[in-house]
Amino acid sequence: MTNPISSYLGVHGAALPLREQRMQLLASNLSNADTPNYKAVDLEFQSVLEDAARNAASGAGRAERAPGSLDPAGRIFERPGVQPSLDGNTVDADTERAAYGRAALEYRASLSFLESKVRTMLTAITGQ
């Protein structure tokens, strides 16, 4: 069964939790910038989002999954380090900081798209 609200929100409803999950990955990387043998990870954002968009368009697969669990497992890959350090850690703190800032901005972008959708819907409901 298609949830009318989630199909109305379209890909943005799926993108927001995905962006949050990517931020969690980047936060893990930054937190472990000094942990020996930790490997930097990232999300194959494009392919996960394409799946989400396909699901949102067809309306399938949305009902049985809780929002935010678009199953990115298996799409998490180890990012090769630019300059791996001697202790086996591949996190480049500057790259991660830049990626985190960018991810935060992208999250805000998704949020404002979503917000305008919600506003439109609220206007339609209240008729004002």
Partner 1 sequence: MSNLPIFDVAGSALRAQSVRLNTIASNLANADSVASTAEGAYKPLEPVFQARALNGDGSLTAVNVKEITQSGTPPIKRYEPGHPLADGEGYVYVPDVDPVAQMVNLISASRGYQAGVEMLNTAKELALATLTMGR
By CB under 8 A, residue 33 contacts partner 1: yes
x/- string (CB under 8 A) for partner 1, residues 78-117? ---------------x---x--xx--x--xx--x--xx--
The minimum distance between CB 8 and partner 1, in angstroms, equals 13
Identify the residue among 5, 27, 63, 82 touching partner 1 (CB under 8 A). 27
Alpha carbon 12 to its chain's center: 11
The minimum distance between CB 10 and partner 1, in angstroms, equals 16
CA distance linking residue 97 with residue 94, whole number of Å = 5
Q: Are 55 and 62 in contact (CB under 8 A)?
A: yes
Tokens standing for 70? 């678009």
Q: Which is nearer to partner 1, 58 or 88 (CB)?
A: 88
CA distance linking residue 20 with residue 10, whole number of Å = 17
CA distance linking residue 15 with residue 21, whole number of Å = 10
Neighbouring residues of 22: CB distance < 8 A, sequence distance ≥ 6 = 42, 43, 45, 103
By CB under 8 A, residue 122 contacts partner 1: yes
By CB under 8 A, residue 44 contacts partner 1: no
Q: Binding residues for partner 1, per CB under 8 A?
A: 16, 20-21, 23-25, 27-28, 30-38, 41, 43, 72-73, 76, 93, 97, 100-101, 104, 107-108, 111, 114-115, 118-119, 122
